[in-house]
């Protein structure tokens, strides 16, 4: 999918999770581990807000949940920041993300996927489709989220599904690039 097709929400949300390029530390004391932990913290917050929005059947917005978290737990989630925009992008594309996932569920029913595992998959598929983040980073981070929040061995399922989706998406991009160069 070309960048021209991405919505404004999707384009602005990818800023924090860009194409695998590790941002330069703001000060000399910040280490690579701190940068990775910052990225993981962002993904964890996205997951938590997405879980709340999903649990409430998408009748509340990511902004509503972030506002509640900020007031009740003294967090400092920017209401117009990347975390909220990412959740809004996932919510906006929920049906498309599920439609992308379903063909890869060999011998598995969509309804059997645990809620947390499904949310990890939606988040990762959204990143594959709507950001320039390296697929290796997306898969690795999705596996880590699944290890933290999903059922015991769900990370293996997440890895297998996302690996197939990633390969198909890369193949489609290569075909589109070849056609556009002709």
Six-digit token string for 107: 């011998």
Question: Which token pair is 113?
Answer: 């996927």
Q: Which domain holds residue 30?
A: 3-181
pLDDT of residue 3: 43
Tell me how many domains the chain contains: 1
* pLDDT, position 169: 87
Tokens of 154: 């769900």
Task: Give me the percent of the chain exceeding a pLDDT of 70.
Answer: 74
pLDDT at 38: 81
Question: Where does the pLDDT of residue 176 fall: very low under 50, low under 70, confident under 90, or very high at 90 and above?
Answer: low
CA distance 29 to 27: 5
pLDDT at 4 over 50: no
Cβ proximity of 12 and 82 under 8 Å: yes
Q: What is the mean pLDDT of residues 66-80?
A: 92
Question: Around Cβ 38, how many Cβ atoms within 10 Å?
Answer: 13
Q: Please state whether the predicted TM-score (pTM) of the whole model is above 0.85.
A: no
Distant-in-sequence, close-in-space partners of 47: CB < 8 Å, separation ≥ 6: 119, 120, 123, 145, 149
Q: Decide if pLDDT at 17 tops 90.
A: no
For residue 18, pLDDT beyond 50: no
pLDDT at 182: 62
3-state secondary structure of 46: helix
Question: What pLDDT is stored for residue 107 in this prediction?
Answer: 87
Q: What is the pLDDT of residue 23?
A: 44
Instruction: Please provide the DSSP assignment of 59-91 as one string.
Output: -S-HHHHHHHHHHHH-----TTSHHHHHHHHHH
Domain CATH code at residue 123: 1.10.940.10
Condensed to tens digits (0 to 9), the pLDDT of residues 99-114 reads: 999 999 988 899 999 9
Q: Which of 6, 103, 108, 113 is nearest to 54 (CA)?
A: 113
Reported as a single tens digit per residue, the pLDDT across 120-166 is 999 999 999 999 999 999 999 999 999 999 999 999 999 999 999 99
Average pLDDT, the chain: 84
Range of weakest confidence among 2-16, 77-91, 101-115, 121-135: 2-16
- Two tokens at 145? 């989220």
**Does residue 96 carry a pLDDT above 90?**
yes
């Amino acid at each position: 999918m070309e960048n021209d097709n991405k919505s404004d929400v999707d384009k602005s949300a990818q800023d924090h999770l860009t194409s695998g390029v590790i941002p330069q530390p703001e000060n000399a004391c910040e280490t690579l581990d701190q940068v990775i932990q910052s990225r993981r913290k962002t993904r964890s917050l996205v997951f938590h807000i997405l879980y709340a929005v999903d649990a409430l059947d998408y009748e509340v917005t990511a902004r509503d949940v972030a506002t509640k978290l900020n007031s009740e737990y003294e967090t400092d989630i920017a209401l117009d920041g990347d975390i909220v925009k990412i959740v809004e992008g996932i919510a906006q594309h929920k049906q498309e993300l599920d439609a992308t996932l379903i063909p890869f569920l060999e011998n598995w029913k969509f309804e059997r996927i645990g809620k947390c595992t499904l949310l990890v998959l939606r988040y990762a598929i959204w990143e594959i489709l709507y950001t320039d983040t390296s697929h290796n980073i997306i898969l690795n981070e999705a596996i880590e989220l699944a290890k933290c929040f999903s059922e015991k061995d769900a990370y293996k399922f997440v890895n297998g599904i996302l690996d197939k989706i990633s390969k198909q998406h890369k193949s489609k991009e290569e075909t589109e690039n070849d056609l556009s160069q002709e």
